[in-house]
Structure 1
Amino acid sequence: MHVFSPYPLARAIAPALAAALVPALAAGHAVAATPQELQAQYAPSSLPATSHPGAPVPAPFSPEYLAGYVSDLSSYPGGTYYQVVEGFSDLRANHPETMRENLDAVVAMNTSASPTRIAAAQADARVDDGELLAAFSDAFGVTLGGYLRAAIAENRLPKTRALLDSGYLSRAQGLAASTLIEKSVFNNPRPFVAAPEKIARHNAPGEDFYDLGGQGSFPSGHANQAALVTTLLSAVLSELAPQLLARGSQAGESRVVMGVHYPLDVIGGRMTGVAAAADRWNDPHMRDALTQAGAELRAELEWRAGVPLAQAVASQDAAGEGFLDTDEAVATYAAQGTYGLAPVAADNAPMVVPQAAPDLLLNRFPALDWGQRARVIAATALPSGSPLDDQGPRGSWQRVNLAAAFAADVQVGAGGTLIVNGVAS
């Protein structure tokens, strides 16, 4: 059995990096440090649940699940995700045509957005400090989304909420997944700062979505957060994975609609978010916690639906009440992985799959081994050459097309031949 264990460096540098990261986070967020503060941070997810006859009995995590995660730091050098997106420096230095295209794209999306799309983007902007599950509940479809919102209102998902629904300090995010360090390193001006005359400010009465404390644009923290949360939900609820992933990607696009990020920012944020999710999933202690949360959420939805989740999803889709059908979700996720930006590198490079990525498909393809799941990711990858495509040995998070990988039809043929969507891989 393949076991990915990337954390010796993280363990070695944890004290020094935490000392650097915590003050940075504290500038914009309240940081829990002591056990008592950790308990307080997750108190909303520990409130008494509404009970129902025959319903699952929710139970919050015990204290040992509030600490002790090596994946609080990235598996990459320095404990952050800078290396995942360091190609942005080359784009700024050597590809002015890409940077112009990047600006033109945000201006077009920002100034042509419909009132409905602007309202959705504003709603996505409000949830960085919490309530992501409710905001992303539309990805579950009409009926299942309603069940999810009811469960949240009744405090019936304490594990799920502690890990994924407490804003930037959700326990499954961690310091290294904040993007604050990366933003500081790149220090790229946001569109409404770089070209204020070209950007429409889509504020709402009493709300200023452009008071962002002078933080740089790259990579997008909102896109990172949305990708991380929806990727981890997909890992434990694979029946809804393409829809969840597309919804997280749409939340990133909302930042472009608002004019506070460029397409490259949200592509980079998706890359760091998926890389951080993979680190979380490859941390045995965190995988245990996420598996418990997934079981909690699945049990709740199935109790309310009265049928297994796969059957509930199929019934909802048959009634036309799904978020997007699978083909639409896959197309959305793929399109928002490149935003149509022109290639800047070889368009025939082989896909190098990041080592941490294949096990995200573990629950979708439990009979496949790590190498076979890597081949699924390679077979469904986005084309090579796009900006931020890392064609080196570390692998390309930009090309990882998780929605297509989760949706793939995979068969194992004679002699172990892997057939992905009808093509031998």
Structure 2
Amino acid sequence: MLEKVEAWAAKVAGQRHLKALRDGIVLAMPLIIIGSVFLVLGNLPIPGYIELLQELGITAWFGKIVSASFGIMALVAVFGIANSLARDYDVDGISSGIIAISAYILVTPDLIAETGSGVNYTYLGSTGLFVAIVVGLISTEIFTFFIRKNWIIRMPEGVPPAVSQSFAALLPGFMVILFWAVTYILLELLGIENIHDLLTNTLGRPLSFIGSSIWGTLFMVGLNSFFWFLGIHGANTTNPIIQPVWLQNTDANRMAFEAGEELPNIITNEFMLNFVWMGGGGATIGLVIVLFFMSKSKQNKAMGQLSFFPGIFNINEPVLFGLPVVLNFKLLIPFILAPMATALITYYAMLLGLVAKPAGIVVPWTMPPIISGYLATGGKLSGAVIQVITVTVSTIIYYPFVRLTDQEKYKAEQKTDDSAS
């Protein structure tokens, strides 16, 4: 039974469209992190600092940098998704990505002003992620269809490869743009002026319920741990589906934080990465602490030494596959329970106002706990304190289960040493 589930999960994780979603969104991460740095610099919790920046006119500069990095998430994602999927089909990924950007701009409503028209930053950022996903995937399927049918313009031999490649993409690209132009016109004729609102209401709301509610979050946490338990990368399997919702929530908090307004969301991408999955999937920071500080057996001590420092930086493959946690039923319960406990404790602490909500600042997932909590909440000590509490809880949850296996190994090692002497 486990083998069948493992095979199915591996197939899902390797599915080309899900891989394209994952790779496309990851492509935007450097810009998101860069934007977050300037978001922090523009909102340091120092008395008089923000007022000084405003007087010097620096606040507007920081805001422009944030919009030009964090604020073009969807534009980068549509290129990344189309490029990744096309490359998986062994066709020209760069051309596919560029054409997908054009299609995305085509279906996005213009912002009309007295000085002219343009594209609203609102739809270039996280708000446009659902449309970016749909446009990126469909555009690439159309593009690939024409390439595979060999319905392309071929240039004579001797023409530079770049020119030949551009002409090869001409007819497939034309059909992609034509498809989205007809779609845009049909939607307008039906009285639907904004495809972003349409897709958000049809696709976004069900996913938003799962991604923004504590019960949906617990389900995703359990699913993540289950896949990791089978030896399959949990985040790579589940995040392509649900991460767009978390990133939208992150960006909504970022805009509210910049405006000095109440933060609307608790569950964001940073809530999951920095407050739930501390140490990696399964909140294994508690596990490596137990192994490092509380083990008696030589084997567990050695594993604790190998996995502790990677674990502090949220890299847990050494302990997952070295201890192992994978397919180790003795550790399945804490592996599921620990991240659920950290999610529940943090969520309700933020809901009750005891801990600051994530401020929309993207902290690298490798940032150690306590530091990450402080940064993710916009420089609030409560963000670091709650991480101290949840790391302790994770350690307490793992301790009795590790102790049982540790005693078994320790006794076996003692018998081996006695027989050897």
Fold-level match, TM-score > 0.5? no
Which one has more relative contact order, counting CA pairs under 8 Å at least 6 apart?
Answer: 1
Structure that is richer in helix per residue:
2
Could you state the TM-score of these two structures normalised by the residue count of structure 2? 0.24
Please identify the structure whose Cα radius of gyration is greater: 2
